[in-house]
Amino acid sequence: MAGRGRGRGRSNLTFSIEAMGFAKGEGLPPSILQPTPLFPPMEHKPVPLATGEEAEYMQALKQEFRGAMKTLPFYIRPAAPKTDVERYSDKYHSGEPADNVIDWKPDWSRLPKELRIRVRKPVENRVSLPVDRMDRSSANHNLSKKEDVLLKLEALEKGEKAGSSEDEDEDETKKKQKEEEGTEGEEEYEEEELEEVTCMQMYHITQG
């Protein structure tokens, strides 16, 4: 059957060639045997972007919005996995994000009950947080009751002494981190204090 059409049915196609616009004898264009290139060459260059005050203002708004969202508590960063051995200083360093604590206070009446998580307490009581977590966390930490009470008293004392100003507390914890971590922390501390004075555009780029 394969050889029967030789010479006779060579150009028996399902469509008529004249209707397609090919003259008789003209070859069909060669068939393509590979997928189209990923970046095909463009014959026509695209129109330039709109410029002007409105476009620039909206672009600045966009970058500011992105930067602002990164600082809000809605930007969720997963807690870094603890790779090191448990250390004594862990219970005084509450550290930044913890998985089971939410940083902002939602209106729980608008959300289903099953989503309820503990809200992170405000900065004044931050020193007492490690104690609370020690109480509730799983069987790794077995503190006797006396030690609990002593630790709690210590923490409350510290809480009172540190005073009610947020900045001082933040500075303290930042200073502690700085001493531990070296120059990285120092720059963070400076940035934290001076973020308003930093050049806005660079801030946008790094945050966005």
Rank residues 15 and 88 by Cβ distance to other proteins and give the closer one. Answer: 15
What would you report as the CA-atom Rg of the chain, rounded to the nearest whole angstrom?
33
Q: b or e along 37-63 (b: 16 or more beta carbons within 10 Å of the residue's beta carbon)?
A: eeeeeeeeeeeeeeeeeeeeeeeeeeb
C-beta of residue 118 within 8 angstroms of C-beta of residue 102: yes
Rank residues 89 and 198 by Cβ distance to other proteins and give the closer one. Answer: 198
Q: Which of 80, 117, 81, 83 is nearest to 102 (CA)?
A: 117
Does 15 bind other proteins (CB under 8 A)? Our answer is: yes
d(CA 31, CA 126): 71
Please list every residue from 96 through 115 that binds other proteins, using CB under 8 A: 99-100, 102, 106-107, 109-112, 114-115
Rank residues 28 and 149 by Cβ distance to other proteins and give the closer one. Answer: 28
Out of 11, 12, 16, 138, name the contact with other proteins by CB under 8 A. Answer: 16
Conformational region of residue 182, where left means phi above 0, alpha means psi within -120 to 50, and beta covers everything else: left
CA distances from 52 to 62, 153, 208 (A): 16, 62, 22
Out of 28, 66, 82, 121, name the contact with other proteins by CB under 8 A. Answer: 66
Contacts of 105 by beta carbon, 8 Å cutoff, 6+ apart: 119
The nearest distance, CB 192 to other proteins, in angstroms, is: 10
| Percent helix / strand / coil, the chain, rounded to 5 | 50, 0, 50
The nearest distance, CB 111 to other proteins, in angstroms, is: 6
Binding mask 156-185 for other proteins (x = CB under 8 A): -------xxxxxx-----------------
Tell me phi and psi for residue 101, to 5 degrees: -125, 135
Rank residues 24 and 77 by Cβ distance to other proteins and give the closer one. Answer: 77
Out of 19, 33, 38, 139, name the contact with other proteins by CB under 8 A. Answer: 19
The nearest distance, CB 147 to other proteins, in angstroms, is: 27
Out of 5, 28, 59, 96, name the contact with other proteins by CB under 8 A. Answer: 59
What residues line the site for other proteins (CB under 8 A)?
Answer: 14-16, 19-21, 43-44, 46-47, 49-51, 54-59, 61-63, 65-66, 68-69, 72, 74-78, 99-100, 102, 106-107, 109-112, 114-117, 163-168, 187, 190-191, 193-194, 196-199, 201-203, 205-206, 208
